[in-house]
């Protein structure tokens, strides 16, 4: 989240904003940075090659322990957790294995859990902005920040 939060904080400091505005933009940036990463994790498992430019399931093939994989494992029951472990420790994964792993991740409710996490972080970002009145955050700046938040959380590539 520092790749979103810190530039906002630095920009606000350089623009002469007071500590409260810097803190609010930091909270906004932290929430959006996390939401962006969660979306990236979903795209690394389910992203369409035509839009992401990468084969489907690249994070699974690389056995990355992303939030999607960890959340899926935690949501899974005993037999399903064993399947997660088998996929994570397999020497190689075929395209059928990737498809089965994607299905398992979906079956245990991971996608909805991650989407909920993204939504909560987006809402936290907007709530942070709402804590500043128009004198401290111009409406056009607020609108631009919300547009950026939407782009970060709703992206498909």
Can you list the residues of the chain whose pLDDT is less than 70? none
Q: What per-residue confidence (pLDDT) applies to 53? A: 87
DSSP 38: H
Q: What per-residue confidence (pLDDT) applies to 141? A: 96
Q: What per-residue confidence (pLDDT) applies to 26? A: 98
Q: What per-residue confidence (pLDDT) applies to 5? A: 97
pTM for the full predicted model: 0.93
Contacts of 9 (CB under 8 A, 6+ apart): 22, 25, 26, 29
What pLDDT, in 10s, does the model give residues 37-56? 999 999 999 999 998 888 88
Q: What per-residue confidence (pLDDT) applies to 60? A: 97
Contact yes or no for 118/39 (Cβ under 8 A): yes
10 vs 22: CA distance, rounded Å = 8
47 vs 55: CA distance, rounded Å = 8
Q: What token pair was written down for 156?
A: 């498909």
Nearest to 88 by CA among 59, 67, 63, 108: 63
Q: What per-residue confidence (pLDDT) applies to 2? A: 81
Sign of CA dihedral 77, 79, 80, 81: positive
Contacts of 115 (CB under 8 A, 6+ apart): 42
CATH number belonging to domain 2-154: 1.10.600.10
Sign of CA dihedral 48, 54, 55, 57: negative
């Amino acid at each position: 989240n520092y790749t979103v939060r810190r530039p906002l904080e630095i920009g606000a400091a350089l623009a002469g904003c007071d500590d409260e505005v810097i803190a609010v933009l930091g909270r906004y940036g932290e929430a959006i940075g996390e939401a962006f990463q969660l979306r990236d994790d979903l795209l690394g498992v389910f992203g369409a090659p035509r839009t992401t430019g990468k084969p489907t399931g690249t994070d699974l093939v690389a056995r990355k322990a992303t939030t999607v994989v960890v959340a899926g494992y935690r949501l899974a029951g005993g037999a399903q957790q064993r399947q997660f472990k088998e996929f994570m420790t397999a020497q190689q994964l075929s395209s059928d294995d990737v498809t089965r792993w994607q299905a398992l991740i979906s079956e245990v409710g991971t996608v909805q859990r991650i989407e909920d996490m993204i939504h909560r972080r987006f809402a936290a970002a907007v709530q942070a902005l709402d804590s500043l009145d128009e004198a401290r955050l111009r409406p056009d700046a607020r609108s631009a920040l919300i547009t950026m938040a939407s782009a970060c959380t709703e992206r498909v590539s």
